Structure 1
Amino acid sequence: MRITGRVFLAAAVTALLLLLAAGPAAAQDAAVEGVAPAAEEIAASARAKEAAVLAAELGQLRAKISTLESRIADQTLELKTKDDAIETLDMIVKEKSQKITDMQKEVTSLQAKGSLAAEEQASKANARAIELEKQIEKLKMDITAQKSKRAALEAKAGDADKKVQELNTKLEKRTSDDQKRRIQKTEHALKVAEEELMKVQLETTTKAKQLREVHGAWLPPWLATHAVRSMEVMSNHWNEHGKPAVDSLLQKAAEKSAQAKKWAEPHLETAKTKWMPVAKEKLVTLKKNAEPYVQMVSEKSVEVYQTSNDFIRPHLVNAHKAADPYFQEAKKLSKPYIDQIATATKPHVEKIRTTLKPYTKRARHVYGQFLVTATRYHQQAQATISDYLHQHEFTKQFVTEELVWYLAAALLVMPIFVLYTLLIDTFCTKKQKKKTPRSSNANHVHRRHKRRHADK
């Protein structure tokens, strides 16, 4: 209804606008008929202007009408959506009202049932209350009986306490003198025991300090003194014999290394210019010629390994099967003896472990530091050796990680080996006894030859 009313209003507005535009045009036509031709031209121009103005107004009105129509269409769509929403809400309200009626019916039925159940429960509760009242009466009777018994027992306990107090007074009178003597003796014994405990505590503290000092030290005292003496002797021998020998040896080695470098420089240059290309060509030819032989050898070695493995494996399995029962029997026979040895040596092993524990901790620490320093120096030596080998073209070809590692290890071990040999030569030289020359007849006793007389 709203939409149709709006459409009729729009039609009426357009009709009125058309009538307004047509009325002045007709009046102007009637007035023009009685005027001169010059006036007709002026009227025509005025009409044209008015027609243009009216056309502009009509365009504006049409635009407004189109906007109104679009708004009307949008509002109609909104109204349709709202009507649909209202219908859905009506359906939901109807469903909920039906549910409410159903719930009310259920509530009424449950109330009817609940009244019956409540009556039954009330009757049961009354019966239980009667039973509980009877039990309470019985309990009250029991409580009164127990109270009477308790009063009698308390009276008996009071009499017994009185008798005990009387006996205690008598005993205290008799034993007071003996107790005083015993207390004095015990106090004296306690004083003596306290003095002995103080002495023992002082001894234990002193021994604990000594043990801490011993355990904290790297070596036991007797071994430390021996090590200090041996180090002094070693240092004296080193200063007297080892150090000058090492200095002279290092000087000679430096001189000889310089001479070797001077001597080897021209040879190295000749080797770089002449021998290196020839050696490279020969190596290439050797590789080409040796590749098929190497492949043949590798294939044959693999075949030999497979055949030997296939041949030996069943024999090994049979030998294992045959020897397994003997091994198990030997294990069973030796197990009790091994257990006895383990039980017998366990306390000794634990004692040794406890005594060596502080020394092993220190040794582990020192060993870890030694490994760290050794690895650091070894890495530095590897870097220097690899740089030195890469400087020369002849040695650059043979540089590998394994070779550099072995050369660095040898370089680190060489001074230790030299020191070891020098120490052996200086300290472990045995004085050779001069051998007396013995003739072949040394074991025979010298005999004087008999003189022959001329008369005989």
Structure 2
Amino acid sequence: MAASIKLLFLLLISLSFTYITSEPEPEPEPQRFSLENILDQLKSHISVLESRIDDRTREIRSKDEKIRQMEMIIHEKSKSIDSLMSEIESLQPKGVIDVKEQSSKSYARIGELEKQVQVHGEWFPHWLTVYFSNFQYHVVTHWDEHGRQALDMTVQKVLEKKSQFDKWAEHHTETIYNFLLRQCILVLHKRT
């Protein structure tokens, strides 16, 4: 009987050891919680990145809209500059032609008045004819000395200012155009 109790005791002990070793080992709880924490952190990081992407997309759209508005403004300004330039060019030769026409008309009028004075010389007193011819001489002399020079200088300065404006406007329009072109290229590059 003692042998059967020992045998029974050995059998129970061996069964208890096999039962203990046959069950899977439970995972430690802290590791499971750390994986869940890492997963939660990754999900929150993904949501933060998605919100940043949305913000950047909105910024890019607003910048695209600003670029379109600037392009429209530049287009309008260039149209107005072109119209002003064409108006200046149309007025410039016309102004020179008008001055020449006015001077030729004034000389023709002087000639007509001289003829009238000669024809109707007897109607005017001699002193008035002398005064008129003297006045006419002074007006023509003053015009030749001062008026013509002032007009020539004015026309020359207008032409210089026009050429300076052409140079200035060309530089600035090229600068603005190049800046906007670079910005558009950067935006297109970022999108792709």
Given the two structures, how large is their TM-score scaled by the length of structure 2? 0.43
Given the two structures, how large is their TM-score scaled by the length of structure 1? 0.20
Asked which structure has the greater CA Rg, the reply is 1
